């Protein structure tokens, strides 16, 4: 739904240059209909397995985005009291929420229990005991799943791999087995099933199949001792960012390959996609401030920085970069490093990008910026987080105001001891 018409970029039926003129830059833009299509595509692909689709809130936690997905029927995967608050604030019922995370605090656990969430996905025995104690204190009963670390390498960037022994997440299969047995004696909680999430931006079905086989083997081993009702295979489904050498498998390929493993098991399946639903819906718009030439480089310096979109700096991630105007008058192609104003050499959105010759005032588009972009933004260099806008056909509306310096300073005090 991002396309050029008369050489000018549109999001659905809205001309991007209108958005730039109305809201300024840097600016995040999201297409409502891409978001809905992505959600529908993954729900349909897993519907023959009866899967419940839990949107991973950390990928994009704007309350308008969450509200759209709630109306579409999504469940939600959260990792903090803040994410829980966002959902409750827009009226999401607790029974659509799953709470993961290695370091849930006592206060977060209490809030989750009081909100009657579907289950806590526990990551250690200490956490299990604490949840049991709090549930008994509150005279309530809580469902849990155990997050298993299946020791499977997802073949993705090391910073977003989560399912190997090196990673802090989950419990080994052996530990999960022993803890599952112990849950029978804890009367504040009931074991619902097992969970794993092996990493993000996974582009092959093989590691999933290995991880799911581990979960099913574990469930079968326990079957006669303790009932296991569900398995949750996490998120991580890769999306095309534009530089892949091997094509990313279609989402139905994932679900079809899982089918034979899940048949005859009578387990409720949960999945937790974040990026798959939100990444391609969003872009970051930025104005070109300066062109600077060094001996062997052209730097295109834009008004967005690594604080606004950290993925390239954190993981060396590739995002396709283009311009709002197709620049048909210019034939000259130049090679640029597209960089931001932040005082770090890693503040670079793309190296050696071939673009039609740029001039000051051009608008630059960083594509596929709907997941882990706005949600990872920060105030480094006292920069203000950008505004966010939602587009549906030819309508658009602000869904997050641009921050002001007063917003930031209101958190600070002048104290001299
Ligand atoms: N479930 C759990 C337990 C997770 O930890 C995550 C992501 C997801 C689901 C959703 O994964 P997805 O479908 O979005 O890949 N900031 C990194 C990604 C970190 C992912 C953290 N966990 C990035 O920008 O690539």
CATH number at 133 reads 3.20.20.10
Same domain for 313 and 268, yes or no, is no
Residue 246: per-residue pLDDT = 73
Provide the residue range defining the domain that includes 221.
93-273
Name 96's Cβ contacts closer than 8 Å, sequence gap at least 6: 70, 74, 75, 76, 87, 118
- Rounded CA-CA distance 335/297 in Å is 8
Q: For residue 200, how far is its CA from the centre of ligand 1 (angstroms)?
A: 5
Residue 163: per-residue pLDDT = 67
Evaluate whether residue 75 is within a structural domain: no
Same domain for 283 and 216, yes or no, is no
Evaluate whether residue 69 is within a structural domain: no
Instruction: Using DSSP, state whether 247 is helix, strand or coil.
Output: coil
Q: Whose CA is nearest to atom 22 of ligand 1?
A: 200
- Rounded CA-CA distance 36/45 in Å is 14
Q: How confident is the model at residue 160 (pLDDT cuts 50, 70, 90)?
A: low
Same domain for 289 and 262, yes or no, is no
Q: Which of 56, 150, 278 for a ligand 1 pocket mutation test, highest count of atoms within 8 Å of Cβ? A: 56
Residue 159: per-residue pLDDT = 74
Evaluate whether residue 253 is within a structural domain: yes
Q: For residue 81, how far is its CA from the centre of ligand 1 (angstroms)?
A: 17
CB-facing half-sphere around the CA of 254: CA atoms within 13 A: 30
Question: Taking 90 as the threshold, does the pLDDT of residue 365 lie above it?
Answer: yes
Binding site membership of 195 for ligand 1 (Cβ less than 6 Å): no
- Rounded CA-CA distance 280/309 in Å is 15
Longest distance between any two alpha carbons in the chain, whole Å: 74
In this structure, what CATH number is given to the domain that contains residue 290?
A: 2.40.37.10
Q: For residue 236, how far is its CA from the centre of ligand 1 (angstroms)?
A: 6
Evaluate whether residue 63 is within a structural domain: no
Q: Whose CA is nearest to atom 3 of ligand 1?
A: 197
Q: Which of 231, 250, 273 is the last residue before a domain boundary?
A: 273
Same domain for 207 and 241, yes or no, is yes
Same domain for 169 and 249, yes or no, is yes
Evaluate whether residue 68 is within a structural domain: no
Q: Whose CA is nearest to atom 19 of ligand 1?
A: 160
Binding site membership of 32 for ligand 1 (Cβ less than 6 Å): no
* Average pLDDT of the residues in 208-220: 92
Same domain for 130 and 203, yes or no, is yes
Evaluate whether residue 296 is within a structural domain: yes
Same domain for 127 and 19, yes or no, is no
334 tagged catalytic: no
- Rounded CA-CA distance 94/88 in Å is 8
Same domain for 269 and 283, yes or no, is no
Q: For residue 275, how far is its CA from the centre of ligand 1 (angstroms)?
A: 7
Number of folded domains that form the chain? 2
Same domain for 103 and 238, yes or no, is yes
Question: Taking 90 as the threshold, does the pLDDT of residue 157 lie above it?
Answer: no
């Amino acid at each position: 739904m991002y396309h050029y018409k008369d050489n000018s970029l549109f999001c659905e039926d809205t001309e991007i240059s209108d958005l730039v003129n109305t809201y300024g830059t840097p600016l995040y833009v999201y297409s409502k209909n891409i978001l809905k299509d992505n959600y529908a595509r993954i729900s349909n692909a897993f519907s023959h397995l009866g899967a419940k689709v839990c949107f991973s809130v950390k990928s994009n936690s704007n309350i308008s985005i969450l509200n759209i997905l709630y109306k579409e029927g999504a469940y939600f995967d959260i990792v903090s009291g803040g994410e829980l608050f966002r959902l409750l604030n827009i009226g999401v019922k607790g029974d659509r929420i799953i709470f993961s995370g290695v370091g849930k605090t006592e206060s977060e656990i209490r809030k989750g229990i009081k909100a009657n969430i579907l289950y806590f996905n526990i990551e250690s025995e200490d956490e299990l005991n604490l949840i049991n104690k709090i549930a008994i204190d509150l005279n309530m009963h809580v469902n849990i799943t155990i997050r298993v670390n299946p020791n499977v390498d997802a073949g993705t960037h090391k910073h977003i791999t989560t399912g190997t022994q090196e990673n802090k997440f989950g419990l080994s299969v052996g530990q999960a087995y022993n803890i599952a047995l112990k849950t029978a004696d804890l009367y504040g909680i009931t074991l619902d099933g097992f969970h794993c999430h092996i990493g993000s931006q996974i582009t092959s079905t093989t590691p999933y199949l290995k991880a799911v086989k581990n979960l099913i083997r574990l469930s079968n081993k326990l079957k006669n001792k303790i009932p296991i009702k569900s398995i949750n295979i996490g998120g991580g489904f890769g999306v095309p960012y534009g530089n892949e050498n091997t094509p990313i498998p279609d989402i139905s390929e994932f679900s079809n390959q899982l089918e034979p493993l899940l048949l005859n098991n009578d387990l409720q399946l949960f999945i937790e996609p974040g990026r798959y639903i939100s990444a391609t819906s969003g872009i970051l718009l930025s104005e070109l401030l300066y062109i600077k030439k060094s001996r062997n480089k052209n730097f295109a310096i834009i008004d967005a920085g690594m604080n606004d979109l950290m993925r390239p700096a954190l993981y060396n991630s590739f995002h396709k970069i283009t311009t709002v105007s197709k620049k048909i008058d210019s034939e000259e192609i130049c090679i640029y490093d597209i960089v931001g104003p932040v005082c770090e050499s890693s503040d670079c959105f793309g190296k050696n990008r071939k673009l039609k010759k740029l001039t000051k005032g051009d608008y630059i588009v960083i594509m596929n910026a709907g997941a882990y972009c706005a949600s990872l933004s920060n105030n480094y260099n006292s920069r203000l987080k950008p505004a966010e806008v939602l587009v549906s056909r030819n309508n658009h509306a602000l869904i997050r105001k641009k921050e002001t310096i007063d917003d930031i300073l209101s958190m600070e005090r002048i104290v001299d001891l």
